[in-house]
Amino acid sequence: MAANTLLVELGVEELPPSAIDLLSDSLADGIRRGLDESDVTHGAVMAYASPRRLAVQIVELADKQPDREVERRGPALAAAFKEGQPTKAAEGFARSCGVTVDQLIHLETDKGTWLGYREQQRGETTTSLLPAIVDKALTSLPVPKNMRWGSSRVEFSRPVHWLVMLYGHEVVEGESLGLNAGRMTRGHRFHAPEPIELTHADDYLSVLENAWVLADRDKRRERIREQVLAEAEVQDATAVIDEALLVEVSGLVEWPVALTGSFDERFLEVPSECLISSMKANQKYFHLLDADGRLKSLFITIANIDSEDPEQVIQGNQKVIRPRLADAAFFYATDRKRPLADRAPELAGVVFQKQLGSLADKAHRNAEVAAFIAERIGGSAAHARRAAALGKCDLVTEMVLEFPELQGIMGHYYAAQDGEPGQVAQALEEQYLPRFAGDAIPDSDTGKALALADRLDTLTGIFGIGARPSGTKDPFALRRAAIGVLNILVKGELDLDLRELLELAVAQHQTLVDTDKLVDEVLTYMLDRFRAWAHDEGIETEVYLAVRARPVTHPLDFARRLSAVQAFTRRDEAAALAAANKRVSNILAKQANGDVSSIETGLLQEAAEAALYEAVASCRHAVMPLFAEARYHEALDALASLRDPVDAFFDQVMVMADDEAVRCNRLALLASLQALFLEVADIALLQQ
């Protein structure tokens, strides 16, 4: 079979930048899936996109499906013939196959013999299959919000204008979204507005680049990055390239050109985060820092045109950014006219959740829990209460109402300017840490206490009203809240009992019922999140299950056990001891009503059982102090020495002896062996 390159391009009006990557990847996946389902072989699949186009290029695409042998099964032989003559069932099957009965074959199966028919089916050409495959891929795209235009009934994210389908040199005749496929594309809206004829699918990227379009998303992003860094170097500054902003800007331009502008230095009196938020959110600018890490009164904008008069473009951007920064300066000046604490009464009018009250109610609950945690970890309960009282006040400031992403940051600034204690001001920002996987945890004791209290209040409250996460629905981000609590407790090395913290958090909700059951439910939910936490830390699922099987409610202790068991699994003795523990667990499970509580040394008849008894006793003496100090790594290393006496015991000793006393004694010995490992985890589960 011959092979060639396929090109599919949909030309559109400017797409939402946040949707481009998803639509581009989905189109490529849809076409790939259609080809695979049709058994058409192909090489690499490349997804390209710009604001005005979605494109897929597939190399080494076979020109047809492979020929294949098709086998059809008809009626059973017993039903196909009577007295040597074909029945109507046999004749009907033959007609459906386009042959006579005597041209049918016998198919032998484990259920008997059947009439059948085999034929060679020629593969269809790829160009005949493509129109349906491409149409299905296009009409199945996950468009965030459809629209219609003109008198057309066609719907898409934006009006569509052209469709290219080329297989090598050949145009693939087809139609989708009201467009007939051809070979005409478009270049840059201003630099190359005339239609461009594509001769071959391989020419796509080079033809468009000559027409002022970088269709390769990755290449366009790297071009922007390089230009921004180069502009910053000219200004003797450091450019801060936020990856999310880079992706968004790349979705706004087809031919990026970086230009540097400036703004009045007086705006630098406003906290830099406010200016940066305004520049990023409103204008999509990259900001610059000086050698000391301070914001410079410069910005880098990415134009979508290579202007003959770039200075005019720069001045236009400077003109636009000035009122934006003036707004930020106004919000800041307005907010500073009142102490942050004066805004606390306003929280009573802001609903946290209808059944759980206002933000003022939440702040009150947070104060009790945060104060308790602060005392436990050696911090200041007074600071924790104050931080909780102020924690949500910045949500009603002008600045945060305009830029919600500044919550906590502005609280920190305003509290510090009001003369609040340093840890209190710092905690107002740290309460939101960690924001995402891998993010830092709060540094201050007050920040840790408030961050924990706030998440525990949300978890217990939302669970208490029955709004638990289900499937992919988690509107209150409870999964993230639970993992945040675990991260703070573990990475902050806070040896706190999660059950105790949940009981205190639940007690602050006066309207919740069945609180004991609620604590158990939330505790189970949170400890189950350790699976995801463990996965992020590179810990195997079996290790998590082994630790989860034990009644551990201190997350720090849980994490230490995970680490120790993970290390234990790398030892040569691990597999044998896990298998032995599995065997012991199975044996003891069948003796639920038996007495296996004590060991009589006088009943140790075999040398192997006596040796195991001595080894277990010796290990117990060595490891119990280690367990008390949570030195699980060392304890499991010591328990690894039990492998040989355990193996010898099972090789040489019959556990279920006829003599009941001997049998019970051996069961007690096994129970004592199992109990040592259960001090850390149920390592029998490592066998799963």
3-state secondary structure 130-178: HHHHHHHHHHCCCCCCCECCCCCCCCECCCEEEEEEEECCEECCCEECC
Q: Give pLDDT, residue 604.
A: 85
Distances from the Cα of 374 to the Cα of 377, 386, 482, 575, angstroms: 5, 12, 19, 43
Per-residue pLDDT for 564 more than 60?
A: yes
Q: Give pLDDT, residue 138.
A: 96
What does the buried/exposed string (b/e) look like for 204-227 if buried means 16 or more CB atoms within 10 Å of the residue's CB?
A: bbebbeebbbbbbbeebbebbbeb
Q: Write the pLDDT tens digit of every residue in 168-179.
A: 999 999 999 999
In this structure, the strands spanning 257-262 and 238-239 are unpaired
Per-residue pLDDT for 553 more than 90?
A: yes
Neighbours of 367 (CB within 10 A): 21
**Six-digit token pair at 126?**
């790829």
User: Residue 550: which of 681, 419, 423, 688 has the closest Cα?
Assistant: 681
Per-residue pLDDT for 105 more than 90?
A: no
Q: Write the pLDDT tens digit of every residue in 437-476.
A: 889 999 999 999 999 999 999 999 999 998 888 877 888 9
Q: Give pLDDT, residue 295.
A: 97
**Six-digit token pair at 580?**
């032995």
Cα distance between residue 454 and residue 348, in whole Å: 17
Cα distance between residue 195 and residue 170, in whole Å: 18
Per-residue pLDDT for 1 more than 70?
A: no
pLDDT band, residue 134 (cuts 50/70/90) = very high
Q: Specify whether the CB–CB gap between 434 and 484 falls below 8 A.
A: yes
Q: Specify whether the CB–CB gap between 613 and 669 falls below 8 A.
A: yes
Cα distance between residue 19 and residue 329, in whole Å: 32
Lowest mean pLDDT among 13-27, 507-521, 590-604, 658-672: 590-604
Cα distance between residue 679 and residue 362, in whole Å: 39
Residue 645 carries which side chain, given as an amino acid letter? P
Angle between helices 409-417 and 422-430 (to 10 degrees): 170
**Six-digit token pair at 23?**
């639509």
Tokens 């068991």, residue located: 565
Per-residue pLDDT for 153 more than 90?
A: no
Cα distance between residue 311 and residue 303, in whole Å: 12
Q: How many residues does the chain have?
A: 688
Q: Write the pLDDT tens digit of every residue in 233-283.
A: 999 999 999 999 999 999 999 999 999 999 999 999 999 999 999 999 889
End-to-end C-alpha distance for the chain, whole angstroms: 47
DSSP letters for 168-221: TTEE---EETTEE-BSEEE--TTTS-SEEE-S-GGGHHHHHHHTT----HHHHH
**Six-digit token pair at 67?**
């020929």
3-state secondary structure of 337: coil
The partner residues of 68 in beta bridges, in order of sequence, read 121
Q: Specify whether the CB–CB gap between 201 and 4 falls below 8 A.
A: yes
> Average pLDDT in the 576-605 region?
78
Task: Name the helix (H) or strand (E) containing 233.
Answer: helix 217-234
Q: Write the pLDDT tens digit of every residue in 194-221.
A: 999 999 999 999 999 999 999 999 999 9
Query: What's the chain's average pLDDT?
Result: 92
The radius of gyration of the chain from alpha carbons, rounded to an integer in Å, stands at: 35
Q: Give pLDDT, residue 504.
A: 96
> Average pLDDT in the 431-439 region?
91
Neighbours of 569 (CB within 10 A): 17
Neighbours of 398 (CB within 10 A): 16
Task: Name the helix (H) or strand (E) containing 46.
Answer: strand 45-50
**Six-digit token pair at 100?**
């006579």
Q: Residue 452: left if φ>0, alpha if ψ -120 to 50, beta else—which one?
A: alpha
The DSSP call for residue 268 is: G
Q: Specify whether the CB–CB gap between 446 and 379 falls below 8 A.
A: yes
The DSSP call for residue 297 is: E
Cα distance between residue 688 and residue 686, in whole Å: 5
Q: Give pLDDT, residue 688.
A: 62
Q: What are phi and psi of 142, to 5 degrees?
A: -80, 70
Reduced 3-state DSSP string for 577-644: HHHHHHHHHHHHHCCCCCCCCCCCHHHCCCHHHHHHHHHHHHHHHHHHHHHHCCCHHHHHHHHHHHHH
Task: Name the helix (H) or strand (E) containing 374.
Answer: helix 359-376
The DSSP call for residue 405 is: G
Q: Specify whether the CB–CB gap between 451 and 461 falls below 8 A.
A: no
Q: Give pLDDT, residue 121.
A: 76
Cα distance between residue 520 and residue 373, in whole Å: 20
Q: Specify whether the CB–CB gap between 177 and 10 falls below 8 A.
A: yes
Q: Give pLDDT, residue 70.
A: 79
> Average pLDDT in the 16-28 region?
95
Query: For the chain, what percent of residues have pLDDT higher than 70?
Result: 99
Cα distance between residue 279 and residue 276, in whole Å: 5
Residue with the larger pLDDT of the pair 559 and 661: 559
Residues 6+ positions from 496 with CB-CB distance below 8 Å: 373, 376, 377, 489, 554, 555, 556
Which runs of consecutive H residues, i.e. helices, occur in 52-121?
77-80, 88-97
DSSP E strands in 254-293: the ranges are: 257-262, 286-289
Residue 452 carries which side chain, given as an amino acid letter? L
**Six-digit token pair at 44?**
């690499």
Q: Write the pLDDT tens digit of every residue in 225-244.
A: 999 999 999 999 999 999 99
The DSSP call for residue 283 is: I
Cα distance between residue 404 and residue 395, in whole Å: 8
pLDDT band, residue 608 (cuts 50/70/90) = confident
Residue with the larger pLDDT of the pair 596 and 87: 87
pLDDT band, residue 118 (cuts 50/70/90) = confident
Residues 6+ positions from 340 with CB-CB distance below 8 Å: 390, 393, 394, 397, 411, 414, 415, 418, 420
Tokens 């919600």, residue located: 404
Q: Give pLDDT, residue 158.
A: 94
Per-residue pLDDT for 560 more than 70?
A: yes
Q: Is the peptide bond before 195 cis (omega within 30 degrees of 0)?
A: no
Q: Give pLDDT, residue 11.
A: 97
Cα distance between residue 432 and residue 435, in whole Å: 6
Per-residue pLDDT for 595 more than 60?
A: no
3-state secondary structure of 360: helix
Q: Specify whether the CB–CB gap between 264 and 326 falls below 8 A.
A: no
Residue 580 carries which side chain, given as an amino acid letter? A
Q: Give pLDDT, residue 379.
A: 96
